[in-house]
Amino acid sequence: MEEKVFRSPKKRGRVAVLLSGRGSNFRAIHDAMSEGRINAEIVLVFSNKADAPGLQMARERGLDTLHLDPKSFPDKESYDAAIVEELKKLKVDLVCLAGYMKIITPLFCQAYRNQIMNIHPALLPSFPGLHAQRQAVEYGVRYSGATVHFVWEEVDAGPIILQAVVPVYQDDTEETLAERILEQEHKIYPEAVRLYFEGRLEVRGRKVYILD
Ligand code: GRF
């Protein structure tokens, strides 16, 4: 079967950030845009949590925000359909999941194929799912890290865009490791978004090529 090739667009991008918590990755991406390091703007910060600190931060930064309560929808599909509708209205080019604690349904993934990124606090495919830093400490690995990847239907399994390696020390706790990983997250997530809108990410099969 012939492989479909996806190439990210070279343009001034319109980005939506989806978050559920403190929003430090959102902040790193927004700072990079404000400093002119990324050719894109954030057109929406969305949350499933009304009281997410990241949502408050977005308001303070003068960005448009939206909260939809999952409980007021009959099922996950209709919730995601409502989000997709908002994103389409805003002509969003790229969706950045930044600590968004909900699993994206296939409907959402298919509407934005190769247009959704996520950051995961481990070197995927190791330690997918929740508490990745705790999993790494408990397993006893010497290195862990962070991964930015495209979101496909299967959780934490889409094509890998960038990774950063972080050492794990013998006396590390989940918290100390998480802190060291987070520093790297704040570097590689904005970098991945930058590459995206420079038109330099090509997805072939499940591999991402970074073009010169
Ligand atoms: C980060 O550790 C990220 O890797 C994970 O959720 C956390 C979000 O942190 N997906 P923040 O809300 O961006 O500060």
Q: Tokens 């700072």, residue?
A: 31
Q: Distance, CA 24 to ligand 1 centroid (Å)? A: 7
Q: Whose CA is nearest to atom 1 of ligand 1?
A: 99
Count of CB atoms within 10 A of residue 14's CB?
A: 17
- Its CATH architecture, for the domain 12-201, is 3-Layer(aba) Sandwich (3.40)
pTM of the full predicted structure?
A: 0.97
How many Cα neighbours within 13 Å face the side chain of 131?
7
Q: What was the pLDDT predicted at 2? A: 58
Measured by CA distance, the residue closest to atom 9 of ligand 1 is 99
In terms of Cβ atoms closer than 10 Å to its own Cβ (0-12, 13-18, 19+), residue 137 is buried
Do residues 153 and 109 make contact, with C-beta atoms less than 8 angstroms apart? Answer: yes
Please give the chain's pLDDT, 212 residues, in tens. 556 899 999 999 999 999 999 999 999 999 999 999 999 999 999 999 999 999 999 999 999 999 999 999 999 999 999 999 999 999 999 999 999 999 999 999 999 999 999 999 999 999 999 999 999 999 999 999 999 999 999 888 999 999 999 999 999 999 999 999 999 999 999 999 999 999 999 999 999 999 99
Q: What are the sequence ranges of the domains in the chain? A: 12-201
Which residues are near ligand 1 (CB < 6 Å)? 19, 21-25, 54, 98-99, 119-121, 182, 185
Q: Are strands 201-204 and 5-7 parallel, antiparallel or unpaired?
A: antiparallel
Count how many residues are written for the chain. Answer: 212
Q: Which of 30, 67, 120, 131 is catalytic?
A: 120
Q: What's the CA-to-centroid distance between 1 and ligand 1, angstroms? A: 37
State how far Cα 189 lies from the chain centre: 7
Quick check: helix, strand or coil at residue 86? helix
Tokens 């890290």 sit at which residue? Answer: 145
The atom number, within ligand 1, closest to the CA of 98 reads 13
Establish whether 186 is a catalytic residue.
no
Name residue 162's amino acid: L
Query: Which atom of ligand 1 is least distant from the CA of 25?
Result: 13
What are 34's two structure tokens? 């404000």
Of ligand 1's atoms, which has the minimum distance to the CA of residue 20?
12
What the block records as the tokens of 111 is: 């509407």
Residue of minimum CA distance from atom 12 in ligand 1: 23
Please enumerate in sequence order all residues whose Cβ is within 8 A of that of 110, keeping only pairs 6 or more positions apart, or say none.
none
For the record, the structure tokens of 177 come out as: 């490791």
To which residue do tokens 């590459």 refer?
195
- Ligand 1 center to 147 CA (angstroms): 11
Q: What is the pLDDT of residue 145?
A: 98
